[in-house]
Structure 1
Amino acid sequence: MSNKKLAGKTAIITGGGSGIGRAISLRFAQEGAAVHILELNTAVADTLVEAIGAFGGQASVHSCDVSKQEMVCDVVRGIGTADILVNNAGIAHVGDLEHTTEADFDRIYAVNVKGAYNVLYAVVPLMKKQGRGVILNMASIAAIVGITDRFAYSTSKGAVQAMTLSVARDYLPYGIRCNSISPARVHTPFVDGFIAKNYPGKEAEMFETLSKSQPIGRMAQPEEIASLALYLCSDEAGFITGNDYPIDGGFVKLNN
């Protein structure tokens, strides 16, 4: 009998080819899950799939725009089963209300809110039919505390937290658990690109500033988020549903 925590499980991970999603995909595959990565740009996931295959893990990548419901449903229908869903795909926007255009807001909504809904809409009926399932939505501390210049992003992540509670409540009778994770800043290639674009010549200084905004004094590593995701999606967390878990280096409670 395998001692891997996700042995025999099928996991669907959106945005699983890069950043936090990549770390989760790798960790879940290491723990025995058959991982299905949904990515708009499949090229970013190809090397990950190869790496997972090299150690005997199971992974495949599916081209999918989560903002398109018909496409999402077609992909999920092709996969056919899902024990675990990690709703991780998301995009960011920097700007307060007055610097958020309608196009900006629609773009964030389409991916972060409608995208999460679309995948839930496709996957929950499979889990309901099976009589079991675990859902993990990626929220953010931006849904919990006020963060400067994150109007649209914060709004979208607040919606993700609300969806988490609703799904957790509605599908309790079907053996489906639903939780969310709210990270603070995580050191991913996105962060490096953001700093390079917005603070040319001051990259090191800005990286240190952003790192120290967490009371613990650094950003999280994607692998740390993956460890929490693994626990919440494993049978060890079978009594946990309808909760949000900040993983934030003390940002929410200790920034005073």
Structure 2
Amino acid sequence: MGSDWNSLMRNAHVPPPFIGINGSSPAAPGHRSLHRRVAIVTGGAGGIGAAVTAHLVSLGARVVVGYVGDPDPAEKLVAALNASATAGEPAPRAVAVAADVSDHAQVSRLFDAAQEAFGPDLHVLVAAAGVQDGAYPRVADTSPEQWDRAFAVNARGTFLCCREAARRLARGGGGRVVTFSSSNVGSLRPGYGAYVATKAAVEAMTKVLAKELAGTGITANSVAPGPVATPMFYAGKSEERVAAVAGECPMGRIGEPMDVAPVVGFLCTDAAGWINGQVIRVNGGYI
């Protein structure tokens, strides 16, 4: 069991591009509800973000994959997405851009790079970049540095991206902002003090942003996943703890990135135009 667990920890990843958890395509052939729209996905090279990137491309979007650190996962994902393009599709389908979302100059350059790659019209921001402390310190044991790091990426980073999106996304319809919260905002588990505080801030800001964008045709919503099989989720958790978390879910399992990506994709489409200022908890019933 131990060796299987170690393998799971090493290989926790998003399913290959365009392959759903049951082996099917996330989007039915011909269903191109985001055809030629341009999306920026921060944290778009790993975990849930990579699944979102692949799903948006399958819906016809051209995607800028924002990443930080090792460029290899982003470059491999982009290469796979571009290699799978069919005849007649605009090329490239995706590009990778390094950007630390906590740095306002890098966020601005990320949006500049999107316009340089795909033209002036930007339509979608998915702010999926985030961090979580795998030590799960209680509030009394959280250092100011740990607190500041969580807020720098999760709250400030989302703010900077939303700020830029509010200034640059296309007006008049099709503009979409999707931020990432967490179902932990509802469950309020010990050990998540800083993390939950950042995500509660994201939820509140997203709701305010939705009202501030009145008249633009841009919607702003937040997706709050429950436990999902990603390296961030597994970090610092024992095999027994993961089994306990799975047992707390009515569906009897940990989620997969492709459980979340189609929900994000839907919020980016015209069909979701009447959904605005909402927090969508995608968690299999986990509370």
If the length of structure 2 is used for normalisation, what is the TM-score?
A: 0.81
In structure 2, how many angstroms separate the alpha carbons of the residues matched to 1:99 and 1:84?
A: 38
The aligned residue for residue 49 of structure 1 is 78
> Which of 29, 42, 46 pairs up with 1:14?
42
Q: Which moved more, 1:46-55 or 1:185-194?
A: 185-194
2:181 maps to 1:139 = yes
Partner residue of 2:124? Answer: 84
Q: Output the CA distance in 2 between the equivalents of 1:177 and 1:52.
A: 27
Report the equivalent of 2:106.
Answer: 71
* Aligned 8 A contact 2:165 2:177 in 1: no
Q: How does 1:91-102 map to 2 (within 5 A)?
A: 91-93=131-133, 94-102=136-144
* Aligned pairs, number: 243
What residue ranges of structure 1 are gaps of 5+ in the alignment?
A: none
Q: Which has the higher helix share?
A: 1
Aligned to 1:248: 283
1:77-226 matched pairs, under 5 angstroms: 77-80=112-115, 81-93=121-133, 94-127=136-169, 130-132=171-173, 133-195=175-237, 199=238, 203=239, 205-226=240-261
User: Within 2, Cα distance between the matches of 1:101 and 1:63?
Assistant: 28
1:30-45 correspondence runs (5 A): 30-41=58-69, 42-45=71-74
Q: Helix, strand or coil: the match of 1:174?
A: coil
TM-score normalised by length of structure 1:
0.91
Q: Distance in 2 between matches of 1:121 and 1:131?
A: 18
Shift of 1:224: 1.0
Distance in 1 between residues matched to 2:184 and 2:241, nearest whole Å:
19
Residue type matched to 1:92 in 2? Q
Q: Which amino acid aligns with 1:87?
A: A
Gaps in structure 2 of 5+ consecutive residues: 1-29, 86-91, 116-120
Check the 8 A contact 1:178/1:242 in 2, yes or no: yes
Q: CA deviation at 1:87?
A: 0.6
Cα deviation for residue 171 of structure 1 reads 0.2
Further displaced range: 151-160 or 35-44: 35-44
SS in 2 for 1:4: coil
Greater mean deviation of Cα atoms: 185-194 or 50-59: 185-194
Decide whether the 8 Å contact of 2:107 with 2:161 is kept in 1: yes
1:238 aligns with 2:273: yes
The 2-side partners of 1:53 and 1:120 are apart by: 27
Deviation of residue 131 (structure 1)? 3.3
Question: Counterpart in 1 of 2:57?
Answer: 29
Local SS of the residue matching 2:132: coil
Distance in 2 (CA, whole Å) between partners of 1:34 and 1:221 is 23
Contact 1:49 1:60 (8 Å CA) reproduced: yes
- Partners of 1:207 and 1:84 in 2: how far apart? 34
TM-aligned CA deviation for residue 28 of structure 1: 0.6
Contact 1:143–1:161 (CA under 8 A) maintained in structure 2: no
1:107-127 deviation line (CA, Å, top 9, x unaligned): 000000000011112221112
Asked if the contact 2:180–2:202 (Cα under 8 Å) also holds between the matched residues in 1, the reply is yes
CA distance in 2, matches of 1:43, 1:121: 28
Task: Report the Cα offset of residue 149 of structure 1.
Answer: 0.9
Deviations 1:96-155 (A, max 9, x none): 21011100000000000000011112221112x633410001101122232111000000
User: Measured at CA, do residues 145 and 53 of structure 1 come closer, stay the same or move farther in structure 2, by a change above 3 Å?
Assistant: same
Superposed CA deviations along residues 197-225 of structure 1, whole A, max 9, x for unmatched, are xx3xxx3x333222112122111110010
